[in-house]
């Protein structure tokens, strides 16, 4: 019997030690370190008090964050919420909020700049039309109607091109999904070149049966924009090449490469990305006087990206070399 009491006593002492160690571990994991109340085990009163205080502090900090976010509006998008020094839950939340606000501010700035540029571009043809009509009214008896219409028509066509481009960009920015069907890119290139009978010689090198998956109308617009751009700035010749290539890791099933090269002045390396900005203005060799509206190349790149592809400007000995890469249709196995 004495032996049984002794065994029972040892067991209780061990249980007390286990309780104290468990209590300390719970406090460390919950972020409330400090001395352990040896008499009450892991759920002592001090731990509950500190836990409640921590929860109140978190609630107060979240409340301050909400109040600061309420004061950040589109009129002052540069404001940010303060980031605490302690790297806890609130620190991570504040960092995430500020990163989101950075992206929103960048988007707002892009929208403001785009609206200003669009207004400027629209004002030019509208002003030209108004001047021509006012001049005609001042000397109505001497005006030939046919001549007046021929003078006004280019400004109307430019106005139509700008508004069409703006509507296209708006639809793309809204995330309207593409139709997805197998499209014979070889046939589409030949068809588009047939409809563009310019005064520049066109050299065509097309591999037949290059099939991609996408929206036929959008892909035709992509080809049209690039061909028009090349014909606008070429000195004498535009070379259009379409081929299949190994796609590497990004295009595991292979890639369709469409290359459009002109023999004009070319584009400086530091301007290659700028031409894909909306209403971008470069040097005089690629000015608006050549007939562009500053939306064709941005729209072309968006179409390529919406088809999981790329549009870049590659190096060339002469002129500008635009390179489109689109994934081949995996169902066709080109």
Q: Where are the domains of the chain?
A: 2-103, 109-173, 181-327
pLDDT at 25: 45
pTM for the whole thing? 0.68
Closest CA to 259 of 230, 217, 298: 230
- Give the span between the Cα atoms of 284 and 264, in whole angstroms: 13
Mean pLDDT of all residues belonging to the chain: 81
Give 222-276 pLDDT, tens digit per residue: 999 999 999 999 999 999 999 999 877 788 789 999 999 999 999 999 999 999 9
Confidence (pLDDT) at 66: 75
Q: What is the pLDDT of residue 80?
A: 82
Q: 4-39: per-residue pLDDT in tens? A: 444 444 455 554 554 455 444 444 444 444 444 444
SS3 for 261-302 is EECCCCCCHHHCCHHHCCCCCCCHHHCHHHCCCCCHHHHHHH
Do the domains 181-327 and 109-173 match in fold? no
Distance CA 71, CA 68 (A): 5
Hey, what are 55's tokens? Answer: 């929860």
Residue owning tokens 């976010």: 69
Measured between alpha carbons, how far is residue 263 from residues 233, 320, 323 in Å? 8, 7, 15
Please provide the CATH number assigned to the domain covering 181-327: 3.30.565.10
The pLDDT of residue 248: 77
Distance, CA of 190 to chain centre: 30
Domain range 109-173, CATH class: mainly alpha
Above 90 in pLDDT, residue 62?
Answer: no
What CA–CA distances, in Å, run from 221 to 112, 126, 238, 289? 27, 26, 18, 22
The whole-angstrom separation of Cα 183 and Cα 151 is: 40
With contact defined as beta carbons under 8 Å apart, do 266 and 316 qualify?
yes
Which residue did the predictor score with more confidence, 167 or 1? 167
Average pLDDT (74-88) is 75
Q: For 112-153, how does the pLDDT look when each residue is reduced to its tens digit (9 = 90+)?
A: 888 888 888 899 899 999 999 999 999 888 889 999 999 999
For the segment 171-196, what is each residue's pLDDT rounded down to a tens digit?
A: 888 887 888 999 999 999 999 988 87
């Amino acid at each position: 019997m004495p032996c049984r009491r002794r065994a029972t006593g040892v067991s209780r002492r061990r249980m007390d030690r286990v309780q104290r160690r468990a209590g300390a571990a719970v406090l460390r994991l919950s972020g409330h370190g400090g001395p352990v109340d040896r008499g009450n085990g892991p759920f002592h009163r001090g731990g509950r008090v500190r836990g409640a205080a921590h929860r109140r502090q978190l609630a107060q900090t979240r409340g301050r964050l909400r109040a600061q976010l309420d004061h950040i509006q589109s009129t002052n998008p540069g404001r940010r919420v303060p980031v605490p020094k302690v790297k806890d839950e609130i620190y991570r939340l504040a960092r995430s909020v500020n990163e989101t606000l950075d992206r929103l501010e960048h988007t707002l700035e892009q929208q403001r700049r785009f609206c200003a540029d669009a207004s400027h571009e629209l004002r030019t043809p509208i002003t030209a039309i108004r001047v021509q009509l006012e001049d005609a009214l001042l000397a109505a008896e001497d005006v030939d109607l046919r001549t007046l219409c021929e003078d006004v028509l280019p400004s109307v066509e430019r106005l139509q091109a700008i508004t069409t481009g703006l509507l296209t960009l708006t639809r793309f920015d809204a995330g309207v999904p593409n139709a997805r069907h197998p499209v014979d890119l070889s046939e589409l290139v030949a068809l588009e070149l047939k409809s563009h009978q310019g005064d520049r010689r066109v050299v065509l090198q097309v591999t037949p049966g290059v099939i991609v998956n996408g929206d036929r109308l959008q892909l035709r617009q992509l080809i049209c924009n690039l061909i028009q751009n090349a014909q606008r700035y070429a000195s004498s010749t535009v070379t259009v090449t379409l081929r299949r290539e190994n796609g590497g890791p990004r295009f595991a099933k292979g890639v369709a490469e469409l290359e459009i090269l002109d023999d004009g002045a070319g584009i400086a390396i530091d301007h290659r990305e700028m031409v894909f900005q909306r209403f971008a203005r470069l040097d005089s060799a690629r000015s608006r006087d050549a007939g562009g509206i500053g939306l064709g190349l941005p729209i072309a790149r968006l179409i390529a990206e919406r088809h999981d592809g790329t549009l870049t400007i590659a190096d060339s000995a002469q002129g500008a070399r635009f390179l489109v890469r689109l994934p081949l249709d995996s169902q066709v196995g080109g």
